[in-house]
Amino acid sequence: MKYKDLVEYVVKSLVDSPDGVEIREIEGEKSTILELKVYKDDIGKVIGKHGRIARAIRTLLNASATKSGKRVMLEILD
């Protein structure tokens, strides 16, 4: 499973409007950046209280990226 697919699956499960989920993947040599965009109404569901859900998603990404030796970063855009 690719990183983009993993984030997309988790985020679409959390939000009320799964159609509004957009993920852009920027590949580098040693790192990958995922830019996540959701509807304004759903951004709180993705971030969670004190950023707990966002931190959990980033932890999942880092755990899956450990095997490949790449660094994966998730940016949540407004």
Decide: 3 and 34 in contact? Cβ < 8 Å: yes
| 32, two tokens | 């990958």
Decide: 31 and 72 in contact? Cβ < 8 Å: yes
Split at pLDDT 50, 70, 90, the class of 12 is very high
Give me the residue label for tokens 């799964």: 18
Domains and CATH numbers, the chain: 3-77 (3.30.300.20)
Rounded distance between C-alpha atoms, residue 26 and residue 11, angstroms:
18
pTM of the predicted protein model: 0.89
Rounded distance between C-alpha atoms, residue 72 and residue 67, angstroms:
12
Rounded distance between C-alpha atoms, residue 58 and residue 21, angstroms:
17
For residue range 39-74, list pLDDT tens digits in order. Answer: 999 999 999 999 999 999 999 999 988 888 889 999
